[in-house]
Structure 1
Amino acid sequence: MQLLLEGVSKKVGAETWLYNMDLAPQTGEVTVLLGATQAGKTSLMRIMAGLDVPSMGRVCVDGADVTGMPIHQRNVAMVCQQFINYPSLRVSIKAGRVQ
């Protein structure tokens, strides 16, 4: 799978959350987003996963523009570090088995 971000930026109200950027992680390699708190790492990941739409630019997967495409139709996912991001989900463990 090839992910490509072209001219992606994000504004919320008058505040710029992500400045115009291009990103093309290489297939088969590890790409790390590293930055200070409030640098835009989560905003960028949410745009890649389709949870947020960029104010400008586009997100392409294997050459197809998926900007604005429903999340369930994309081949991209985001795994959150903290369970609190999905407060409506529950996990119960009975007799050593996750249900």
Structure 2
Amino acid sequence: MISNTTSTASRANRRILKATALILATSANVDPTRRRALKRCLIYMGDVSDVVTSRIDWKRFRYNRNNSSYLMLLNVCFMVLNGLIPQRDKEHSTRQNA
């Protein structure tokens, strides 16, 4: 289980970011251009170990001014990993033509 103590905070954050990027990079619901961009970013995360996303203890994360830059990123990761971001159908675009 990942806990977010002071010594492992940035390591845990990077592991979650990598796991989310891997899932999005292999998803058929993501635009191919964005998938390629994610795969290029994953090259730089080669030394970051993998994590089992179902074992992340989201309640234990604490943020302060030193790690607050991860707040939005990890919230997006939480939504992606828990299926909370709605899918957009090509037929029913969220944009409406005026």
Could you state the TM-score of these two structures normalised by the residue count of structure 1?
A: 0.30
Q: Which has the higher contact order (CA 8 A, sep 6+)?
A: 2
More helix by share: 2
Could you state the TM-score of these two structures normalised by the residue count of structure 2?
A: 0.30
More strand by share: 1
